[in-house]
Amino acid sequence: MDNNIRAIALDVLLKIEQNQAYSNLQLNQTLQNTNLKSVDKALLTNIVYGTIQRKNTIDFYLDQLLNKPIKKKDRWVLSLLRLSIFQMLYLDRVPDHAIIHEAVEIAKERGNQGLAGLVNGILRKLQREGTAAMDKKAEEGIEKEALSYSMPQWLFDRWKEQFGQDDAEKMAQSNLLASPVTARVNTKKSNRKDVLELLLEEGIVAEEGELSPEGIIIKEGYLPATEVYKQGLVTIQDESSMLVARAVSPESGETILDTCAAPGGKSTHMAELMQGEGKVVSLDLHAHKIDLIKRQAERLGLENIEASVLDARKVSEAFETGTFDRVLVDAPCSGFGVIRKKPDLKWSKTEEDVTRLTSIQRDILHAASEMVKDGGLLVYSTCTVDKEENDNVADWFLSNHPEFEWDSQFAEKMPRSIKSYIIDGRSDLQIMPHYFNSDGFYIAAYRKKTTGGEKHA
C-alpha cells in the first residue's frame, strides 16, 4: 500500500510540473479519486506538499549527489528522487531502507534497470553520508536563508525588509510545517457543538477553532468523504479567512456585493451569517469558476447567492452607484500567506507579479467603492503578507477616497486574541501564519461617510 502512495505522489508531482497546475487543486482531485485510507491520504498530502515546499534545499543536495545530469527523457526520475529525499530527511515515519527499496522498485517498473541503479546509488549515498558536508557548503554560500527555509532568496529578503529578520524567519519556518485542516460550520443549518458530535460518529476527530466561532480543526480523518460534509454542514476554510466575512458583518435582509468571489468561500459564509435572508451578489472574472460558487451554494442549502461573470473593474456597467449595503473585495493576490497550502506559489511568483497585482487590486477597489451605499461598508482582503499588496493598497485607497474612513467598529468584530495586532486609529489587520498557525491574511475595513443621513451599516 505504501508503495502505491509513493507512486501516486510521483504522478501528482509530475502532473503539477507538466501542467503547471496548482498543487492543491491537483492533489485534491487525486485524493477524491482514490480509495486510500485517511491516514494514507494524509501521508500522500505530506509527501506532495513537503517535496514542493523543500524543493530548493532538496535540489541543492541533489546537485551534489548526482555525478552527471539526468537525461531529458528521464526527467521524471528527478521527481522520484526528490520525493524520496524529502521522506528520508524530513519524515520520521518510514525507515530509510524502505524508502530506498520502494523508490528503486518504482524506477524499475517505470524505467529500466539502469535508472533503478542510479536511484539506488544516490539514495544509498545520502543514507551513508548524510547531509553534514553539504550543509557546510550551504553555510558558506550567500543564499543561506534560501536553503535553510527552502524559498527564493529574493522573497526572504523582501520579508526581512518588510517585517525584520525575526518575523521573516518565523514565517519562513512556519511555512514549512503542514497546515492544519480547518472547516467552517454552516450556521444556517447547524451549530459547532452538534457538528463536532456528528463528525465523531463518523470517526472524524475535531475540535473547536480558536479564531472563529464557526471554526473547527480536524485532527484526524478525511472530511470531504463524510456525510456531514456532503449534507452541507461544513465548508473547508482556513480560520483567518473566516474573519473576512466577520469584518463585513452582513445582516439578514441586506444586499451584499462580493466582487472576486470564486470559489465562493466568503460568499457562502456571508450568506450563512445572513441566515439565507437578503442577497449576496457574487462576481468573478472567470466563467468556469462561477459554477464552483453555485455548486457550493447548492451543497450548503443557500438560496440567497446570485453568481455571475463580470470583471469587477467594470462593475459600474452592471449596477447603479451606491446599490450595496456592504461590498467585499477579496482581491487576486500573490498568495504568499497560503504557501503552506500552495507551495508552488513561492517558486512561480515574481516581484514583477506583485507589482502587476497591486495595480489590479487598486483598480478593483476603486471600482467596487462606487457600489457602496452612504454609511455602508467596504472590506478589502488578500491572502498575502506582502505590504505592497496590503497596507500600501489600503492606504492608497484611503488617501484617494476621502468619502471613506476606517471602520471604527472593526476591532469589535475581531476575536480578542487578535486585537493586539490592530494598530490604534486604523482598522486593518495583518495575520502572519506563525501567529495562530493559520493562513496569512490581510483585512482592511472602511465605512463610507454619510452625506447628512443617519449611519446605515
Ligand X SMILES: C[S@@+](CC[C@H](N)C(=O)[O-])C[C@H]1O[C@@H](n2cnc3c(N)ncnc32)[C@H](O)[C@@H]1O
Report the C-alpha gap between 36 and 340 in whole angstroms.
23
Binding to ligand X in span 112-151, by CB under 6 A = none
CB–CB of 348/300 below 8 Å?
A: no
Residue 266 touching ligand X (CB under 6 A): yes
Q: With respect to ligand X, which residue has the nearer C-beta, 106 or 262? A: 262
Binder of ligand X out of 12, 83, 262, 429 (CB under 6 A)? 262
Whether residue 424 is annotated as binding a ligand: the answer is no
Residue 283 touching ligand X (CB under 6 A): yes
Q: How far is the CB of 263 from ligand X (least distance, A)?
A: 5
Cell numbers found for residue 328: 467585499
Half-sphere exposure for 325 (CA within 13 Å, toward CB): 17
CB–CB of 417/411 below 8 Å?
A: no
Cell numbers found for residue 266: 466568503
The residue among 263, 255, 310, 258 whose CA lies nearest residue 284 is 310
Binder of ligand X out of 330, 344, 428, 439 (CB under 6 A)? 330
Report the C-alpha gap between 375 and 378 in whole angstroms.
10
Q: How far is the CB of 254 from ligand X (least distance, A)?
A: 18
- Contact residues for 362 (Cβ-Cβ < 8 A; gap 6+): 393, 396, 397
Asked if the bond preceding 263 is cis, omega within 30° of 0, the reply is yes
Whether residue 264 is annotated as binding a ligand: the answer is yes
Q: 15-28 burial, b for 16+ CB within 10 Å, e for fewer?
A: bbbeeeebbbebbe
Report the C-alpha gap between 340 and 346 in whole angstroms.
10
Report the C-alpha gap between 125 and 237 in whole angstroms.
42
Q: With respect to ligand X, which residue has the nearer C-beta, 264 or 433? A: 264
How far is CA 143 from its chain centroid?
26
Q: How far is the CB of 38 from ligand X (least distance, A)?
A: 25
Residue 286 touching ligand X (CB under 6 A): yes
Q: 133-152 burial, b for 16+ CB within 10 Å, e for fewer?
A: ebeeebeeeebebbbbbbbb
For the CA atoms of 120, 121, 127, 133, what is the dihedral angle to 10 degrees? -150
Whether residue 330 is annotated as binding a ligand: the answer is yes
Residue 265 touching ligand X (CB under 6 A): yes
Whether residue 260 is annotated as binding a ligand: the answer is yes
Residue 326 touching ligand X (CB under 6 A): no
333 among known catalytic residues: no
Residue 250 touching ligand X (CB under 6 A): no
Residue 297 touching ligand X (CB under 6 A): no
Q: How far is the CB of 202 from ligand X (least distance, A)?
A: 25
Q: With respect to ligand X, which residue has the nearer C-beta, 102 or 284? A: 284
Q: Which stretch, 4-12, 91-99, 264-272, 439-447, contacts ligand X (CB under 6 A)?
A: 264-272
Binding to ligand X in span 59-118, by CB under 6 A = none
Q: With respect to ligand X, which residue has the nearer C-beta, 170 or 313? A: 313
Q: How far is the CB of 411 from ligand X (least distance, A)?
A: 22
Binder of ligand X out of 285, 307, 385, 445 (CB under 6 A)? 285
Amino acid found at 117: G
Residue 73 CB neighbour total at 10 angstroms:
8
Query: What is the secondary structure of 206-225 as a DSSP string?
Result: EEE-SS-TTEEEEEES-GGG
Binder of ligand X out of 111, 121, 224, 263 (CB under 6 A)? 263
Binder of ligand X out of 271, 312, 327, 371 (CB under 6 A)? 312
Q: With respect to ligand X, which residue has the nearer C-beta, 135 or 311? A: 311
Binder of ligand X out of 243, 261, 281, 443 (CB under 6 A)? 261
Q: Which is catalytic among the residues 12, 383, 393, 445?
A: 383
Cell numbers found for residue 358: 497591486
Q: With respect to ligand X, which residue has the nearer C-beta, 196 or 292? A: 292
Q: How far is the CB of 62 from ligand X (least distance, A)?
A: 34
Residue 368 touching ligand X (CB under 6 A): no
Binder of ligand X out of 284, 386, 428, 439 (CB under 6 A)? 284
Q: What angle do CA 84, 341, 63 make, to 5 degrees?
A: 35
Whether residue 11 is annotated as binding a ligand: the answer is no
Residue 264 touching ligand X (CB under 6 A): yes
Cell numbers found for residue 284: 468573478
Q: With respect to ligand X, which residue has the nearer C-beta, 94 or 292? A: 292
**DSSP label at residue 259:** S
Residue 341 touching ligand X (CB under 6 A): no
Binder of ligand X out of 125, 170, 189, 289 (CB under 6 A)? 289
Query: What is the secondary structure of 14-36 as a DSSP string?
Result: HHHHHHT--HHHHHHHHHHH---
Q: With respect to ligand X, which residue has the nearer C-beta, 168 or 305? A: 305
CB–CB of 209/177 below 8 Å?
A: no
**Catalytic residue set:** 383
Binding-site residue numbers for S-adenosyl-L-methionine are 260-266, 284, 311, 330
Binding-site residue numbers are 260-266, 284, 311, 330
Site of interaction with ligand X (CB under 6 A)? 259-266, 283-286, 289, 311-313, 330, 332, 364, 383
